[in-house]
A and B are shown apart, each in its own frame.
Chain A
Amino acid sequence: MEKNVIMSPTCELVLIGGSSGSLDVLLKIISSLRKDISIAIVVVVHRKTTSDSTLSELFSIRSSLPVKEVEDKDAIIPGVVYLAPSDYHLLFEKKHVFALDYSEKVNYSRPSIDVTFDSASEAYGNNAVAILLSGANADGTEGLKAIHQQGGITIAQTPETASFPYMPEQAILHAPVDFQMSVEQMIDYINGK
Chain B
Amino acid sequence: MIQDEEVEVLINDLFELYGYDFTGYSRASIKRRINRLFILDSFPSFAEFRYRLKVDSAYLKRFVEEITVNVTEMFRDPLFYKTLREEVIPNIATKPFIRIWHAGCSTGEEVFSMAILLQEANLLHKALIYATDINPNVLEKARKGIFPLSQMRQYSENYISSGGRQDFSSYYTANYDRVKFDESFATRMIFSTHNLVCDGSFNEFDLILCRNVLIYFDIPLQNRVFELFDASLDTLAYLALGSKETMKFSSVTSNFKQLGKEKIWRKM
Partner-B contacts on A (CB < 8 A): 70-73, 85, 88, 91-94, 99-104, 115, 119, 123
The reply to whether the CB of B28 lies closer than 8 angstroms to some CB of chain A is yes
Docked pose: A93 CA to B216 CA in angstroms: 10
19 CB-based A-B contacts, threshold 8 Å: A71-B246, A72-B215, A72-B242, A72-B246, A73-B249, A85-B243, A93-B28, A99-B26, A99-B28, A99-B29, A99-B215, A101-B28, A101-B32, A101-B215, A101-B216, A102-B212, A102-B215, A103-B33, A103-B71
The reply to whether the CB of B69 lies closer than 8 angstroms to some CB of chain A is yes
Q: How many residues of B contact A (CB 8 A)?
A: 21
The reply to whether the CB of B214 lies closer than 8 angstroms to some CB of chain A is yes
CB atoms of B245 and A91 under 8 A apart: no
The reply to whether the CB of B37 lies closer than 8 angstroms to some CB of chain A is no
A sample of 13 more A-B contacts (CB under 8 A), given A70-B244, A102-B215, A104-B71, is A71-B244, A71-B246, A88-B215, A91-B26, A91-B28, A91-B29, A92-B28, A93-B27, A101-B216, A102-B69, A102-B212, A103-B29, A123-B28
CB atoms of B245 and A101 under 8 A apart: no
CB atoms of A71 and B245 under 8 A apart: yes
CB atoms of A93 and B212 under 8 A apart: no
CB atoms of B244 and A101 under 8 A apart: no
Q: Which of B192-232 contact A (CB under 8 A)?
A: 212, 214-216, 218-219, 222
Docked pose: A100 CA to B213 CA in angstroms: 10
Docked pose: A104 CA to B37 CA in angstroms: 13
Which of A91, A92, A123 neighbours the largest number of chain B CB atoms within 10 Å of its CB? A91
Docked pose: A88 CA to B77 CA in angstroms: 12
Docked pose: A136 CA to B219 CA in angstroms: 38
Residues of B within 8 A of A123 (CB): 28
Residues of A within 8 A of B249 (CB): 73
With CB as the reference atom, state the residue of chain A lying closest to B219: A73
With contact pairs A70-B244, A71-B245, A93-B27 given, residues A102 and B214 touching in the complex (Cβ less than 8 Å): no
Residues of B within 8 A of A103 (CB): 29, 32-33, 69, 71
Taking the nearest CB of chain A, how far is it from the CB of B107, in angstroms?
13
Docked pose: A93 CA to B218 CA in angstroms: 9
Docked pose: A21 CA to B214 CA in angstroms: 34
Docked pose: A85 CA to B243 CA in angstroms: 10
Residues of A within 8 A of B71 (CB): 102-104
Docked pose: A99 CA to B32 CA in angstroms: 12
Residues of A within 8 A of B242 (CB): 72, 102
CB atoms of A72 and B245 under 8 A apart: yes
With CB as the reference atom, state the residue of chain B lying closest to A102: B212
Docked pose: A72 CA to B245 CA in angstroms: 5
With CB as the reference atom, state the residue of chain A lying closest to B243: A85
Docked pose: A181 CA to B33 CA in angstroms: 34
Docked pose: A71 CA to B263 CA in angstroms: 11
Q: Which of B9-25 contact A (CB under 8 A)?
A: none
Docked pose: A92 CA to B69 CA in angstroms: 17
